[in-house]
Amino acid sequence: MTTAAIIVAAGRGARAGGDIAKQWQQVGRKMVVQHSIDAFMAAPGVGVVVVVLNAADIAYRESFETQGILIAIGGETRSASVVSGLKLLENNNIAKVLIHDAARACVSQEMISNVIGSLDRGPAAAPALKVTDALWTGANGVVTGAQNRGGLFRAQTPQGFDYAEICAAYACFDGKAADDVEVARAAGMDVIIVPGHEDNLKITLPGDFARAERILGSGMGTVMDIRGGHGFDVHAFGPGHSVVLCGIEIAFDQGLVGHSDADVGMHALTDAIYGALAKGDIGRHFPPSDPQWKGAQSSVFLDHAAAMARTAGYVISNVDVTLICEHPKITPHAGAMRTCLAGILAIDQDRVSVKATTSERLGFTGRGEGIAAMANATLVRT
């Protein structure tokens, strides 16, 4: 029997501002949800991690699954999303489950451990802080009264439960719950209060991102993870009137043969990024046996690799592509190639190098039989 963690990341979080949901926004060099994921993946007592996604965010699925995370699709309410995560765990021999809001990116290992440990003394446990401020009631901007703060607590997550009991509690719960403790209590479960922490904030408003970054700052600034990846690709010449290299179409008396658009430069660079992440190559993610990729633009592949790097919390520091051929001439187009690659990777153009060389008329490139490309990519995560 093991302990699982369900990270609920299916909400929209409109109050936090930004063009994308708050869980996908950055705190330091990681997405908010990745901070939460990393905390539970590192927790000694947690054996399975589930992330509940909104159906609109399904594009993140593969990048999470490569981290060994299970993916569930959320519902219209938070409760429905939690139920989706619980059902996904049905055949995983789960004894205890922790349910956590993705927006609490600063959750500590101590808190996770304390909640798990408290489940040895009861069917449910959750962190909370005593309310210490004076409480008012108000209307129309005016104080209308005072509220006794005695016995009041501010709820936090992760909230932990006996797996079988919380599943049963949700099965008989009818309505919308503010959190999982409400569902547990409706089923008659006693909930142990675990000491919460002020740093375990839930990112809700625009200013909370800066506060979360300050809390996580020491951890983000002390260790730098630098990864390098190398890619190599070859495509033969064939019938055609142009070639596509690093996203730029160049008029030529031949084309390049390949299942996609045969952009040898972009293929090498894509493999360099996958390599830095230790995630295989293009063929693993976009099999040439799959007809949907026939004639596809290689920008689709490069964009996927770049998104995977960002999801894992990496910044693409710089890339370097070398095209090896006798013809066509590359130098007149190198500037446009750099601009194209920089746009796809969402980095400054001065971090993108594209250059060309020949093989001094030796080998298949020297005989004009095709084009080869080498690429390097450097990824940084702090």
Looking at the fold, whether 211 and 66 belong to one and the same domain comes out as: yes
Residue 182 has pLDDT above 90, yes or no: yes
- List the one residue out of 349, 371, 145, 172 whose CA is nearest residue 257: 371
Q: Of the residues 222, 239, 259, which one is the last residue of a structural domain?
A: 222
User: Could you tell me the sign of the dihedral formed by the alpha carbons of 59, 62, 68, 73, in that order?
Assistant: positive
Q: In the predicted model, what is the mean pLDDT of the chain?
A: 92
Residues 202, 242, single domain; the answer is no
| Listed residues 188, 222, 256: the one ending a domain | 222
> pLDDT tens, 258-270?
888 999 999 999 9
What domain range includes position 16?
A: 2-222
Instruction: Give yes or no: residues 355 and 259 share one domain.
Output: yes
Number of domains, the chain: 2
230 and 218 both lie in a single domain: no
Residue 207 sits in the same domain as residue 248: no
DSSP 15: G
pLDDT of residue 101: 97
On whether the CB atoms of residues 243 and 249 are closer than 8 A, the answer is yes
Residues 244, 325 within the same domain: yes
CATH value at residue 151: 3.90.550.10
**pLDDT at residue 289, as a whole number:** 86
Among the three residues 199, 222, 245, which one is the final residue of a domain in this structure? 222
Are residues 257 and 356 located together in one domain of the fold? Answer: yes
CATH code: domain of residue 279: 3.30.1330.50
Report residue 19's pLDDT band, with 50, 70 and 90 as the boundaries: confident
Residue 73 pLDDT > 70, yes or no?
A: yes
Angle, in degrees to the nearest 10, between helices 163-171 and 78-88 = 130
Are 137 and 65 in the same domain?
yes
pLDDT tens for 146-177 read 999 999 999 999 999 999 999 999 999 988 89
Are 267 and 321 spatial neighbours (Cβ–Cβ below 8 Å)?
no
Note the Cα 132 to chain centre separation in Å: 36
Q: Give the pLDDT score at 224.
A: 64
Residues 59 and 142 placed together within one structural domain of the fold: yes
Whole-angstrom Cα distance, residue 48 to residue 88? 11
Contacts of 153 (CB under 8 A, 6+ apart): 128, 129, 130, 131, 193
Please check whether residues 152 and 7 belong to one and the same domain. Answer: yes
